[in-house]
Structure formats: C-alpha cells, structure tokens
Amino acid sequence: MDQSSRKRINPDHPSPQPYYAYNNSWQQADVSPLSETHNGKSITRLSLFSWNIDFRIPYAKERMNTALDYLGDLLEKLPSTTASVIFLQECIAQDLRTIGDKPWVREKFYFTDINTSNWADDYGTITLVDRRLTITSCFRVHYEKTRMGRDAFFIDILLDGSSSGQTKTIRLCNSHLESLAFDPPFRPPQVQVMAKYMHEDGVDGALAAGDFNAIQPFDKTLHSDNGLKDAYLELGGKEDSNDGHTWGQQASTEERDKYGLSRMDKVYFTGSLKLHKFERFGIDVQLDRNELELESEYIVSSYGYEKPWVTDHLGVMAEVEVVD
C-alpha cells in the first residue's frame, strides 16, 4: 500500500484502529465497553507467543505457512483454561493474506490487520487474540523517535483474577524496537513510551513483547529503568547466556560470524500478573525440503543459510496468571 493511503500519524499518541472476526469473511468487530460482561469467565491464565518472521528473504507465503502450522501445533497443547495471544513482527502484505486464510486463525482468533494501512512502513506488527477474550481497546502509538517507522501496538483485554474472579484489564503491547546501533539510540525513548502506556491508570497488568533488538549495553536495563520486569531474568535467566539468545543461531553464516548471538526478543511485564513460564520456541523450524525443494535450496544457496529456516529469530513465550 502506498504511503498516501496510510492513516495520518500523531507520534507518541494513541491511534485507534479496528480489529476483525471471521464470519464468511473478515469483518470489523466492535470494541467492547468495560462495563460489558466479558466472554473469558474462568480464564485466568494467558500464554503470549511473540515471533519475528524475517521479511527480507523470499517465499514469504511458504515460510509464513510453515511458521503458522508450527504455532498451531503449540496452541493445541495448551489447556482449555488458558487463552492465547500471538504477536508477529516484520509482517508484509503477503503475510496478512496468508494469516487470514489459515483455518485455525479464522476459527479461533481475532485478527488485527487485514491490510497495511495502520503501518508507517511496508512491514509491521500484527496481533492474534483468542476469541474467548473480550477486547476493550485497540490502538497504535507510532514512535516519534524512529528512523524505521516503528510503533507500539496495544490491545486491552479482560481476564479474571485467579482468587477473587474480579475482572481485570490487561494491556498487551506488541513492538518491534529500532534496529542497529545508531547514534543517538532510539530504543531508550521507545521503551519509555511503551512503559508510559503500560503504567496508565485503569490498567491492572501489562505485557510487552517483541523483537527488542537488544544489542547494546544499555538494552540490558531498559526494563528496570522503566519500572518493568524482564520475564527471562525473573525466572532465573542470566544475561549473555546461550539459553537466552534468540538471534544468531538461524542467521546466515556471514551475519552470525559478524554479530554473534544475542537476546533480541524479550517479554516485559508489570502489575497484577504472576509469571509461571518463559520459553523460547521456533528452534530449527524450516521449509520442508521434500515439498519445497526449489524454495529451500534457493534460500540456502543464495542467502547463506545452513538450512531453509523460516526466520532468523527464535520466538519467546510467557505464561502469566492474573492475581489480585
């Protein structure tokens, strides 16, 4: 979509946008008022999956299809009392068509973007929300400090407190923070904006996740600098440990040799949430060489990958419970 057809952007301020439910076609759904009885009674846990699907290499449809099949298998293993939300970064227009055509997405999820009109660039973030949940707000905050059209994408949902059953507003933030090591750095002001909306009055708890491009020393304290917790660290993870790295293992050999491994992808949280689990996922997910031989070999030979991986990032998953 050309730049002229995109929405006018007011940086660092909320820009409301619709979301969609499938009923023979993707149709705009209405944001529910806070006073409305919500659907997710007895659901007190949330599993959040976040994954950056590389937009740079070809065969977007085949790679996204493979990634979605893998995610669908992960979701099948969740208990019925746990709702799920999926954050994807670096989506392109073809990805929106591929995601929107997936039967399990149509059946079980709200879909936030059916076109690219809410993005500031030709790639962006999308969120899939379990249809058992009630959405009370959906808005983007386009960062003023960005060279790359990045934003924080917020959705408010309702969940029940585990002990009292009292309804809580949980704010979810999907963000792809600024890439590379430019001067001045823009990730610190971007996390400040993100945290501002996570700490807003009326928000009982908040989760932020995505490709945070954490490649410099200051990235290690951006969560604590802004009153947030880092899920990996909260469960005993150590900085610069191989079991936390989410980028490099599946990068091209040239990029891996140049940049090494890093923990680019993170989950931050705050408020009335108890963290139960943090995991990486997406290790060694690749195109099926038997079914997609030409595509697989092209990715390996032309882009310098050891295998036809669907993306250069591992995903991150956090499971939280709403507490009183």
What pLDDT digit, counting tens, does each position of 29-82 carry? 988 776 555 555 678 899 999 999 999 999 999 999 999 999 999 999 999 999
The answer, yes or no, to whether the previous bond of 11 is cis (omega within 30 of 0) is no
Beta bridge partners, 317, equal 49, 279
Residue 35 falls inside a structural domain: yes
Residue 1 falls inside a structural domain: no
Per-residue model confidence (pLDDT) at position 163: 81
- The answer to whether 112 touches 138, Cβ cutoff 8 Å, is yes
Residue 270 falls inside a structural domain: yes
Cα separations in angstroms, 239 against 214, 220, 276: 11, 8, 20
Per-residue model confidence (pLDDT) at position 33: 74
Per-residue model confidence (pLDDT) at position 164: 81
Per-residue model confidence (pLDDT) at position 1: 39
Per-residue model confidence (pLDDT) at position 35: 55
Residue 266 has pLDDT above 80, yes or no: yes
CATH of the domain at 92: 3.60.10.10
Residue 3 has pLDDT above 70, yes or no: no
Nearest by Cα to 198 from 118, 89, 273, 271? 271
3-class SS of residue 126: strand
Average pLDDT over residues 229-251: 98
pLDDT in tens, 129-160: 999 999 999 999 999 999 999 999 999 999 99
Return mean pLDDT, the chain: 95
Per-residue model confidence (pLDDT) at position 38: 58
3-class SS of residue 202: coil
Residues in the chain: 324
pLDDT in tens, 162-185: 888 889 999 999 999 999 999 999
Residue 18 falls inside a structural domain: no
pLDDT in tens, 79-113: 999 999 999 999 999 999 999 999 999 999 999 99
Residue 83 falls inside a structural domain: yes
Residue 19 falls inside a structural domain: no
Residue 9 falls inside a structural domain: no
Report which residue type is found at 70: Y
Per-residue model confidence (pLDDT) at position 308: 98
User: From edge to edge, which strands make up the β-sheet containing 167-175?
Assistant: 14-16, 134-142, 151-160, 167-175, 205-211, 265-271, 229-230
Tally of structural domains, the chain = 1
Residue 13 falls inside a structural domain: no
Q: State the pTM of this model.
A: 0.96
| pLDDT tier, 218 (very low <50, low <70, confident <90, very high otherwise) | very high
Residue 209 has pLDDT above 70, yes or no: yes
Domain assignment of residue 281, given as a range: 28-322
Nearest by Cα to 312 from 120, 67, 62, 49? 67
pLDDT in tens, 273-322: 999 999 999 999 999 999 999 999 999 999 999 999 999 999 999 999 99
